[in-house]
Structure 1
Amino acid sequence: MGDLLTTGQAAIMLRSSRAHVVDLCLRGLLPYVRVGGQRRIRRSDVEALIEPGLSRDEMESLWLHRAVAGKVVANPPAMLAAAAINLRRLRRLHPAGSDWEWLDRWDALLDDGVEAMLEVLTSSSEHAVGLRRASPFAGVLTEVERRTILLAYAESRRGHARRMRADQLERILKSV
């Protein structure tokens, strides 16, 4: 539980209101779990909003792929089938080269099932970032969904999260 924050603690870290944090959670832009009926947010997810270790393009890709993960959860067979079709198409477009390594990894993920796929779609690990560069989920999101997610990402970065010294953050969190 030490890694999980309340919405109030997340709001302090983000230098925003608790209502803003709840809104981010409800819109699916900040992952959370329920513990005893209350929302709890991973510290790493809040820190990623404050100062992502990823480039802007990588963060946008992560946000888009988190939306794809929602579609995978809602309809695993259809989404995995779409990914398999796209992988075959990508192999025809790139008959040789370094892309094959990533396409092979996606093939293995499809064989590993939904859990493994969801981990790659939602993780900020270096391996997942590399895989998402050759994503087989093109066309899964509509253009409207894509634009909405990218606008939400831009809004989440606009003036809400500024870096706070670690000692100041710990002092504030202890007082809550």
Structure 2
Amino acid sequence: MRTSDLLAIGEAAILLRTTRQRILDLCARGLLPYVSVGPQRRVRRADVEALIETALTREQLEQLWLHQAIAIKFVANPFALLATAAANLSRLRALHVDGTGTEWLDRWQIVLDDGPGAVLDALTSPVDYAVRLRLMSPFAGVLSEVERRNVLDALAERRRVQVRSMRPQTRERVMRAV
């Protein structure tokens, strides 16, 4: 890794328009990977840029809504769901012995080890890093098929309401783009 790919904590804070302490908290919770350079932490520019919110695709929005529903169940019984996630993570590790999948599984392990607060951040955050993290989610099977369908139906209804409330010109432009 080139040194120019690494940012100081202060530089990352400027890019994310937040405080240095918030960046350090993200590092401590495993949501922002870092390397130690002497006594200081450095973060990869790509990881910082991944935290900048972007518009979510349809699939990413569905995953966010599903994981927000999982977060509701998680709040009610965090330790049972942490155990479920740990078991699922072990199964996923057996399936993904090498490759980029293992990197994301390692990141999930850090999040799970950090406890309920970090897990809730990962489940509910719309930032790109969390979106990519949820692609290898160890929370499969937490929602029943009925719960899953209810969440996706609610999202579809939200989309219909948004389309109905658009100005006709905007709706036309959106429909042409799809």
Other-structure match for 2:103 = 101
Could you list the per-position Cα deviations for residues 84-133 of structure 1 after superposition, in whole angstroms to 9, with x for gaps in the alignment? 00000000011111100000000000110000000110110011000000
1:16-165 alignment runs, 5 A limit: 53-160=55-162
Q: Give the structure, 1 or 2, with the largest relative contact order (CA under 8 Å, sep 6 or more).
A: 1
Cα RMSD for the two superposed structures = 1.5
The residue type equivalent to 2:70 in the other structure is V
Could you list the per-position Cα deviations for residues 146-167 of structure 1 after superposition, in whole angstroms to 9, with x for gaps in the alignment? 0000000000011425568xxx
Aligned length: 113
What 5-or-longer segments of structure 2 have no aligned partner?
Answer: 1-53, 168-178
The residue type equivalent to 1:88 in the other structure is S
Other-structure match for 1:8 = none
Paired with 1:91 and 1:73, the residues of 2 have a C-alpha distance of 26
Paired with 1:89 and 1:155, the residues of 2 have a C-alpha distance of 35
- Report the secondary structure of 1:117's partner residue: helix
Could you list the per-position Cα deviations for residues 18-58 of structure 1 after superposition, in whole angstroms to 9, with x for gaps in the alignment? xxxxxxxxxxxxxxxxxxxxxxxxxxxxxxxxxx8100000
Paired with 1:113 and 1:151, the residues of 2 have a C-alpha distance of 31
**TM-score, normalized by length of structure 1?**
0.62
